[in-house]
Every structure is written in C-alpha cells, then in structure tokens.
C-alpha cells in the first residue's frame, strides 16, 4: 500500500522531466547574428598645398621714441593749465601757461644792458674819430714845437734870446711829445676797447635771448598732433628751473617693443640685414592695426632680443604703455598645409582617410598659420612628403584614432 503511494508521484515526476528534455532538444535554433565592425563619424578637410607664412605671436608694449617732456625754463608760478591727461592735442594749441610776470622783468633788464653797451660802442666810435682828428693836429703841433726849439737855440747862439727862453721851448717840445704819445696810445687802444665792448654786448645779447626764450617757453604750445601723456603740475604751483610740467607724444610714429624668442631672433635679424621688413598685425579695441619691424635691440638676454615694430598708420585707440598681442608673419614656406589644431595627434601625426579608413602620416609642424582676427579657427602649418594636394584629412580629434580605423564622413 505504501509502496504504491510512493511510486506513482515518482513516475509522474520522471515523465515530466523526460518530456521537458524532449521538448528542449527538439526546439528550433535561432540564427547566429554576425559581428558588425564599429564605424566612427568624423569631420574632414581637403588638403590645399600652398606657400604660407608662419606667424609668431609676440606680446609687446607701445612706446613713443618722440615722447617729449616740457620743463620750466625758470622759476615761476603756474597760472593756467588748459589740458588734462589723455586729451588729444593739435599743433599750436596752448597747453599750459606760466605767469609771464616772473619772466618779463629779466627780459627788460637784459634788453637794457644791450642798449647800454650799444650806446657805449657808439660813444667809443665817436671818441676814436675825434682821436684820429686830434692826432694829426698833435703831430703838427709837435713839429711847431721842434722848430721853435731849433730857432731859439740858433738865436741864443747869436745872443738874441736868453737861456731861459731856450729851456722853455724845450719844455714845450717835451710836453707836446707826451701829449702825442698819449693820443697815439688812445688810438692804438681803440681796437682793444671795442673788442671788450663787443664781448660784453655778445654776452648781454645771449642773456637777452635766454630771457626772451624763457618768456616764450612760459607758454607751452603743442607742436604736433598727439596726446597728453601726463600733467605734472596744477594751477598755482610754484616750479623751479628744469622741473617737468607736462609730457606729450605724437599720434604718428608709435612703436611696439616686443621680445623675439631666442630660437627665432637670428632669423629676424638676418631678414633685417637683407633689407626685409617683416609685417605684423594686432587688434586694438576692435581696430586692426598693421606694423613693420624697423630695427632690433643692441643687446640680448636669455629670453631673447628686443624688436621694435612701427605702426604703419596712426591708430585712434593706440596709447603708450598699452600691452598688445602682435602676429608677426615670417618668410613664406612652400608646399605646406594649414590644419586645425584638432587635426594633429601626438604632436607629429595627421590621419588621411583612404577607402573609409584612417592612415597615419608623420608631419613636421612649422608654426602657427595665423589668420583674420576673430574669424578663422587657429591653425597650424604642417609639411610632409606624403601629403598630396586634395588629400582628405581627419579634423575630428578621436581619442582612439589609429591606422585602419573605419570612419564615415559627416556631410
């Protein structure tokens, strides 16, 4: 009884397991899916071989070799200041005025000395003319005195005159000789006195010119179109001779001093010696300005060599002391390609797309390609014998890029 109760459930379980195994073994098998190679969607560019100038980016400071500093030409007080720092100026514009009362008395004093010496010279000329006239008369009187002596001596020998009369005639002759020598000395000394008076007149004239110049320069007037760099005094200030009053610089002729990299300075210096003038551009306050390399510094250091770039035309937004970024074009290099930075892998490789797959190309990086400010994407200049005109180059920077990788170009 108990055996039948146990056997029936076991048999049913065995039949169920057997049926499951039979169904599983006879079920249809699904088809095996083939393994599909992944495809990367990329952007490309067409290689255009051309002669392009590499660009060197330099940071420079604006300077003016013609910046001037007006200084006080004497001790005085500032009476008027007509401009402020940063203001534009034009030729003939009055910028600053010192009190003329501090300078005019010196002009009057110097002019009085000149007039006095001119009168002294005129008097000396009249005196010399009178001396010349009297010299002839003194010589004639000397001849008369000598004749009297000879006549009195002869008459004394004939006992017509006394010895005292002869002595008196001799005394008259001696006095006349002394008078004549004095007159001759006065005539001979005329040139020395005139030289002395002329020297004093020249000195007085120089003092007058200095005084007049000081009075003229008490009015600081602009001599060019430019800007006020700095006003160093205010109305009412007492200034000393040589003290700086105001600094100015012309709008034209501004230069940018920039440091040439030590690795490139020889190339730039050689270009200057050949008479070449590398060009540069800079964007200043939205204004595109052009510059020309005009000269290099006389001394270099470990960082490089100073170079001076002159603005080709005045820039309304260019100010001295301003820091600007220059893009300096070097000599053009033939058969190069300008590519975006994203196209370069490992600092020395590009990928060309051939039949939908990548192929690595080793290239030489020659520098930045530059471009229009605010328009072109920054680019690099590269060169390789394997690069051909019209090659399709990868510009999407894939982290897993390698030769043979399958890609599809995104239109």
Give the model confidence (pLDDT) of 121-137 as tens digits. Answer: 888 788 878 767 676 77
Q: Which pLDDT score, from 0 to 100, does residue 86 have?
A: 87
Q: Which pLDDT score, from 0 to 100, does residue 349 have?
A: 93
Do 42-54+332-409 and 56-64+253-329 have matching folds?
Answer: no
At 246-271, the pLDDT tens digits run 999 998 889 999 999 888 888 888 88
The average pLDDT across 211-219 equals 90
Which comes out higher in pLDDT, residue 15 or 241?
Answer: 241
pTM attached to this predicted model: 0.62
**Residue extents of the structural domains in the chain:** 42-54+332-409, 56-64+253-329, 69-103+218-249, 109-198
At 286-327, the pLDDT tens digits run 888 999 999 998 888 888 899 999 998 887 888 888 999 999
Considering 22-26, 167-171, 274-278, the range whose residues carry the highest mean pLDDT is: 274-278
Please give the mean pLDDT across all residues of the chain.
84
Weakest mean pLDDT among 6-15, 109-118, 398-407? 6-15
Confidence of residue 90 (pLDDT cuts 50, 70, 90): very high
Task: Quickly name the fold that domain 69-103+218-249 has.
Answer: OB fold (Dihydrolipoamide Acetyltransferase, E2P) (2.40.50)
The answer to whether residue 275 scores a pLDDT higher than 80 is yes
Task: Quickly name the fold that domain 42-54+332-409 has.
Answer: 2.40.420
CATH 2.40.30.170 for domain 56-64+253-329, yes or no, is yes
The average pLDDT across 216-241 equals 92
The answer to whether residue 164 scores a pLDDT higher than 90 is no
Q: Which pLDDT score, from 0 to 100, does residue 375 have?
A: 47
Return the closest-CA partner of residue 185 out of 110, 226, 128, 254: 128
Return the closest-CA partner of residue 147 out of 168, 124, 173: 173
Confidence of residue 393 (pLDDT cuts 50, 70, 90): very high
What are the residues whose beta carbons fall under 8 Å from the beta carbon of 258, sequence distance 6 or more? 58, 59, 60, 61, 306, 307, 309, 326
In the sheet that holds 392-394, the strands lie side by side as 44-46, 392-394, 349-354, 357-362
Which comes out higher in pLDDT, residue 370 or 240?
Answer: 240
Q: Which pLDDT score, from 0 to 100, does residue 166 have?
A: 62
The answer to whether residue 78 scores a pLDDT higher than 90 is yes
Percent of the chain whose pLDDT exceeds 70: 83
Weakest mean pLDDT among 12-16, 199-203, 241-245, 348-352? 12-16
What are the residues whose beta carbons fall under 8 Å from the beta carbon of 242, sequence distance 6 or more? 71, 72
DSSP β-bridge partners for residue 287: 284
Which comes out higher in pLDDT, residue 316 or 27?
Answer: 316
The answer to whether residue 165 scores a pLDDT higher than 70 is no
In the sheet that holds 238-239, the strands lie side by side as 219-221, 94-98, 76-81, 238-239
At 40-77, the pLDDT tens digits run 899 999 999 999 888 888 999 999 988 999 999 889 99
Confidence of residue 31 (pLDDT cuts 50, 70, 90): low
Burial 37-50 (b: 16+ CB within 10 A, else e): eeeeebebeebeee
Confidence of residue 374 (pLDDT cuts 50, 70, 90): very low
Q: Which pLDDT score, from 0 to 100, does residue 83 have?
A: 93
């Amino acid at each position: 009884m108990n055996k039948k109760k146990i056997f029936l459930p076991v048999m049913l379980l065995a039949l169920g397991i057997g049926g499951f195994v039979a169904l599983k073994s006879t079920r249809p098998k699904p088809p095996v899916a083939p393994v599909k190679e992944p495809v990367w969607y990329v952007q490309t560019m067409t290689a255009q071989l051309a002669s392009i100038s590499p660009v060197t980016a330099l940071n420079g400071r604006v300077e003016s070799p013609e910046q001037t500093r007006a200084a006080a030409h004497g001790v005085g007080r500032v009476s008027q200041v007509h401009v402020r720092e940063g203001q534009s100026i034009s030729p003939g514009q009055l910028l600053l005025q010192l009190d003329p009362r501090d300078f005019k008395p010196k002009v009057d004093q110097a002019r009085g000395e000149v007039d006095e010496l001119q009168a002294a010279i005129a008097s000396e000329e009249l005196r010399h003319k009178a001396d010349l006239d009297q010299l002839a008369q003194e010589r004639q009187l000397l001849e008369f005195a000598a004749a009297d002596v000879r006549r009195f001596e002869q008459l004394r020998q004939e006992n017509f005159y006394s010895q005292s009369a002869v002595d008196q005639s001799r005394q008259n002759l001696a006095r006349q000789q002394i008078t004549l020598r004095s007159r001759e000395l006065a005539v001979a000394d005329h040139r020395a006195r005139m030289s002395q008076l002329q020297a004093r007149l020249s000195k007085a004239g120089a003092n007058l010119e200095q005084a007049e110049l000081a009075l003229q320069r008490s009015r600081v007037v602009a001599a060019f179109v430019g800007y006020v760099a700095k006003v160093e005094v205010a109305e009412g200030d007492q200034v000393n001779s040589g003290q700086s009053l105001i600094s100015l610089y012309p709008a034209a002729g501004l230069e940018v001093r920039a440091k040439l990299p030590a690795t490139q300075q020889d190339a730039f210096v050689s270009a200057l010696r050949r008479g070449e003038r590398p060009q540069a551009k800079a964007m200043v306050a939205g204004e595109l300005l052009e510059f020309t390399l005009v000269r290099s510094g006389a001394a270099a250091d470990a960082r490089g060599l100073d170079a001076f770039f002159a603005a080709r035309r005045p820039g309304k937004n260019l100010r001295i002391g301003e820091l600007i970024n220059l893009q300096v074009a070097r000599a053009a290099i033939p058969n190069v390609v300008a590519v975006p930075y994203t196209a370069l892998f490992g600092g020395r490789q590009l990928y060309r797309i051939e039949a939908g797959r990548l192929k690595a190309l080793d290239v030489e990086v020659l520098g930045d390609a530059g471009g229009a400010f605010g328009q072109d994407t920054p680019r690099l200049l590269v060169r390789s014998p394997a690069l051909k005109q019209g090659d399709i180059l990868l510009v999407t920077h894939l982290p897993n890029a390698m030769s043979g990788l399958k890609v599809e170009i995104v239109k």
